Structure 1
Amino acid sequence: MTIGGIIVARGRTSQGKPADNHRGWRLTSAHTSAVVVGILLLTLSVLAGRADIALIGIPGLLAATWAHTTRPTAPPRGNLHEPDGPTTAGELTAALHLTAPHTTADVFHLRINATGHRSTHLALAARPGADADTDERRIALRLSSVRTGPQETFAIDLRGTRHAVWEREADEIRGARRLVLPGAAPLGRLPLPRRLRGLNGPHSSRRLGDGAELRDIHQFAPGDRLRRIDWRTTARRSPELDTLYVRRTYATAEATAVLVVDSRDEVGPDIRTWRGYGTIRVDEPTSLDLARHAAASVAQALVDAGDRVGLEDLARRRRPLPPAAGRRHLRRVVHGLALAHPKERASVHRVRPPQVPADAVVYLFTTVLDDEPLHLVRTWRTKGHPVVVIDTLPDLHPVIENHLWIAWRIARLEREVRLAALADEGVPVVRWAGSERDRAAVRFEALARAAQRHVR
């Protein structure tokens, strides 16, 4: 399947007549120079009466005349082939196929552009085959980037020349917009809610049922299963076997978690790009890239543990992804994370916070640059949901401009006040940027142990 721009012959016009393939070709300055120099030398030879001067100018005129009679009749063709479906972050690949008929250009001039990358210029010989009508060349293209989500890929300008005297206007070959999926980092245990739901799962709940964790030994009662009878305890406590004793265990259940991604804004390490000017570098992740990576890591850890996970996007007013389990649902969550992006308009203010299932733990991925996350956390905690905030603000570059430094100092102080308020209310905050990302697994393990002790 071919994705992206395809440059082919111009086919037919809107009136149904065949298009003129000669259009777009023009003579270069080399042809003009050869004609002018040849005429000047012939004129000089006539005025000076010297035939040797004419012999110097005649080859240039003959070459210009021959080149003019060999005008190309077909444009060069280029097809950009890209892999189907989404890809993962790191490296984007594509293949450019160039086709050169005998009646078209003999040299390809390429200018390969990509957002955030320097332009690359190439000049390739068409090399038409002796026995074939056309010769196809394949050029492998690679684009390195740590960015995720919808990404622009290649934009190629193709221009052909023939015999260095004919050149064609550049045609643009543009690649399709690619969806780059976030990767996932391995995490250990994650904090669980105080109450578990479901009739089966990997965790032991606080209610009676079929499970592996022993609760107590109790006298046989109506409703107890015969396979639960503990004959050793019965023989020890009731030698006459007039009373039976059963082993009662805790039921197994599963945890429910909801990932809430704050995609209302996307900021990079360079504060100068926060105003909407300039281009964010492709080798530096933004806050939304960090949020996608952190959410994908948490989702994979939950699915690996057999728990249920849902997804909610604060910037998109549509139906959220309900909690579910399984590898197929994990792919849906990762795909939804890749589609999260800020709206073009002003930030969206939600009158009501996203609805969260009962007894579910909430993971909020945000930069905490405004008061909206603080309001959401307090609302969820009022309803009894444990909340874990993942700070996705990237490590910022030093600020040189004085006015930007003052603005960031005010924003930083306000952000520190919000983080301090979360800490005072007992809301754990996990930093997910720079070197702190490597210690996130240790932080989650400590939170899981603290939550387990609290439940017990």
Structure 2
Amino acid sequence: MTVGGIIVAGGRTSYSRPVDGPHGWRPTSAYTAAVTVGILLLATSVLAGRADIALIGIPGLLAATWAHAGRPTTPLRADLHEPPGPTTPGELTATLQLAAGPGEGADVVHLRITAPGHRTTHLTLAARPQGQARDVPLGLSSVRTGPQQTFTVDLRGSRHGTWEEEPTQVRAATRLVLPGAAPLGRLPLPRRLRGLTGPHSSRRLGDGTELRDIHPFTPGDRLRRIDWRTTARRSPELDTLYVRRTYSTAEATAVLVVDSRDEVGPDVRTWRGYGIIRVDEPTSLDLARHAAASVATALVEAGDRVGLEDLARRRRPLPPSAGRRHLRRLVHGLALAHPKDLASAHRVRPPQLPADAIVYLFTTLLDDDPLRLVRTWRTAGHPVVVIDTLPDVHTVIESHLAIAWHIGRLEREDRIAALDVEGIPVVRWAGSQRDQAAVRFEALAHAARRHTPGRTP
């Protein structure tokens, strides 16, 4: 069931967070009104000499006396259980467990459940008897990734409508939402491959599957490489043996560079930190995480080495490596990428990259720094692929914002045109063009293979 944007559903979790705040019981306005009205009616009956007025006030005083005799003494305990470890985009769940200790406690619980970007949900539940716990499963939907604030529950118990507990609050810990990955085909690779083995055919001689040429046998050639058909055709007397020489296999090295210096959404009014970004619309950093996770998954599954650089962080980059465990480190590092102070985010020197590595740059192209980095890497001999992660911007109504966005859009188009003139591909990763990214990558990989010297198309 969905209540006010927050889903109340089934499920059970294991992580517990204790409640914070004081516990105490106080009379409600109904209790105070019963006592006050009863005393006033009794006083009026004495002054007026009318017993019928006293009969009206006595039930209220008796009810207040009965309520005071049953004053609760046990505070309501609340634990918020969450799934351990990171999660994936979609539905975030938690379980609120309500329990009362021995003695008189609350019979009704009032809840106010809030989450950033969602409407507030109010619930009134019946408390379970003493020693029994009541589970309230919670859930919310979000397409956002990275560190996310989830549930904040304000609760207050009451008994017979005459006593209420001091409000307390249970706040969930920050959840880390890992980005998902879209299936991709072949990706562009660097011009020169490294390593003694790998999934790709390099341009040097060695053990592999791709034929290079047929050559006379020389010392050092393996006997299993002898091509007996060619030998019989070219040297019937077996004076000369011919061997099949192949290209050796090697692995590619790629570095993912995420421009996390800023995070913008589809609404221009929320840029520069004003307003709240909707949870059902991915931001530029959400798109960058998703695109980088997709590229990393495709490369690692192909057997290549992948590293990670964050332009907003200057320490502890992930060096290139391979394997499923390294892929989990990459995805976790992408989830931790977040904007920092722009004044300290400017880098005088671009990140240092391994030799002969291809660079995948994920950026919004809203300033000139990406162009400077790309040109520096191209000068050093690194092929670069730019992935445009700016979301599809909504129509701007305000005139001053419309003018500002029009100027920014024109500058951004000039940067994309400059990259195209310099032969640097730009792949769009937002909206409907995200589905065409795999086709674009496939075309870039085919073009790079066709124009590689010494390789057959």
Q: What's the offset of the Cα at 1:44?
A: 3.6
Indicate yes or no: 2:106 matched with 1:109: no
Describe the superposition over 1:172-231 as per-residue Cα deviations: whole angstroms up to 9, x where unpaired: 100001100000001111111111111111111111110111111111101101111112
What is the distance in 2 between the residues matched to 1:286 and 1:275?
13
Relative distance call for 1:138 and 1:88 in structure 2 (3 A) is same
What is the distance in 2 between the residues matched to 1:311 and 1:350?
16
What is the distance in 1 between the residues matched to 2:240 and 2:169?
88
Question: Which residue of 2 is the match for residue 138 of structure 1?
Answer: 135
Question: Which residue of 1 is the match for residue 233 of structure 2?
Answer: 236
Residue 21 of structure 2 contacts residue 168 of structure 2 at CA under 8 Å; is this kept in 1?
no
Question: Which residue of 2 is the match for residue 304 of structure 1?
Answer: 301
Letter in 2 for 1:153: T
Farther-moved stretch of structure 1 (339-348 vs 266-275) = 339-348
Describe the superposition over 1:148-173 as per-residue Cα deviations: whole angstroms up to 9, x where unpaired: 00011111101111111111221110
Equivalent of 1:280, from 274, 277, 280? Answer: 277
What is the distance in 1 between the residues matched to 2:31 and 2:175?
43
Question: Which residue of 1 is the match for residue 406 of structure 2?
Answer: 409
Residue 260 of structure 2 contacts residue 312 of structure 2 at CA under 8 Å; is this kept in 1?
yes
Question: Which residue of 2 is the match for residue 205 of structure 1?
Answer: 202
Question: Which residue of 2 is the match for residue 55 of structure 1?
Answer: 55
Indicate yes or no: 2:182 matched with 1:185: yes
Residue 4 of structure 1 contacts residue 175 of structure 1 at CA under 8 Å; is this kept in 2?
no
What is the distance in 1 between the residues matched to 2:121 and 2:342?
35
What is the distance in 2 between the residues matched to 1:148 and 1:4?
23
In the TM superposition, what are the counterparts of 1:195-344 in structure 2 within 5 Å? 195-344=192-341
Relative distance call for 1:319 and 1:127 in structure 2 (3 A) is closer
Relative distance call for 1:8 and 1:426 in structure 2 (3 A) is closer
Question: Which residue of 2 is the match for residue 377 of structure 1?
Answer: 374
Question: Which residue of 1 is the match for residue 86 of structure 2?
Answer: 86
What is the distance in 2 between the residues matched to 1:4 and 1:311?
34
Letter in 1 for 2:89: A
What is the distance in 1 between the residues matched to 2:42 and 2:187?
89
Q: What's the offset of the Cα at 1:5?
A: 3.9
Residue 4 of structure 1 contacts residue 173 of structure 1 at CA under 8 Å; is this kept in 2?
no
Question: Which residue of 1 is the match for residue 77 of structure 2?
Answer: 77
Equivalent of 2:351, from 329, 354, 364? Answer: 354
Tell me, which stretches of 5 or more residues in structure 1 are unaligned? 11-22
What is the distance in 2 between the residues matched to 1:344 and 1:284?
24
SS state of the match for residue 345, structure 2? coil
Letter in 1 for 2:56: I
Farther-moved stretch of structure 1 (43-52 vs 78-87) = 43-52
Question: Which residue of 1 is the match for residue 147 of structure 2?
Answer: 150
What is the distance in 1 between the residues matched to 2:272 and 2:240?
78
What is the distance in 1 between the residues matched to 2:132 and 2:57?
36
What is the distance in 1 between the residues matched to 2:292 and 2:431?
16
Relative distance call for 1:8 and 1:337 in structure 2 (3 A) is closer
Indicate yes or no: 2:18 matched with 1:6: yes
Runs (4+) of structure 1 exceeding 6 A deviation are none
Q: What's the offset of the Cα at 1:412?
A: 1.2
Question: Which residue of 2 is the match for residue 160 of structure 1?
Answer: 157
Indicate yes or no: 2:421 matched with 1:424: yes
Farther-moved stretch of structure 1 (343-352 vs 279-288) = 343-352
Letter in 2 for 1:36: T
Q: What's the offset of the Cα at 1:8?
A: 7.3
What is the distance in 1 between the residues matched to 2:120 and 2:374?
46
What is the distance in 2 between the residues matched to 1:203 and 1:72?
74
Q: What's the offset of the Cα at 1:4?
A: 6.1
Describe the superposition over 1:28-72 as per-residue Cα deviations: whole angstroms up to 9, x where unpaired: 110111112222332343345443432222111011012122222
What is the distance in 2 between the residues matched to 1:192 and 1:42?
93
SS state of the match for residue 164, structure 1? coil
Q: What's the offset of the Cα at 1:346?
A: 2.7
Q: What's the offset of the Cα at 1:3?
A: 4.5
Count of equivalent residues: 440
What is the distance in 1 between the residues matched to 2:252 and 2:275?
44
SS state of the match for residue 88, structure 1? coil
**For the aligned residues, what is the CA RMSD?**
1.6
Question: Which residue of 1 is the match for residue 3 of structure 2?
Answer: none
Relative distance call for 1:140 and 1:381 in structure 2 (3 A) is same
TM-score, reference length from structure 2: 0.93
Letter in 2 for 1:94: A
Letter in 2 for 1:26: R
What is the distance in 1 between the residues matched to 2:29 and 2:341?
47
Relative distance call for 1:436 and 1:160 in structure 2 (3 A) is same
Relative distance call for 1:180 and 1:358 in structure 2 (3 A) is same
Residue 155 of structure 2 contacts residue 168 of structure 2 at CA under 8 Å; is this kept in 1?
yes
Q: What's the offset of the Cα at 1:77?
A: 0.4
Question: Which residue of 2 is the match for residue 32 of structure 1?
Answer: 32
Indicate yes or no: 2:62 matched with 1:65: no
SS state of the match for residue 412, structure 1? helix
Question: Which residue of 2 is the match for residue 16 of structure 1?
Answer: none
Relative distance call for 1:419 and 1:4 in structure 2 (3 A) is farther
What is the distance in 1 between the residues matched to 2:362 and 2:169?
39
What is the distance in 1 between the residues matched to 2:125 and 2:317?
50
Q: Percent identity?
A: 79
Letter in 1 for 2:159: R
Residue 207 of structure 2 contacts residue 248 of structure 2 at CA under 8 Å; is this kept in 1?
yes
Question: Which residue of 1 is the match for residue 430 of structure 2?
Answer: 433
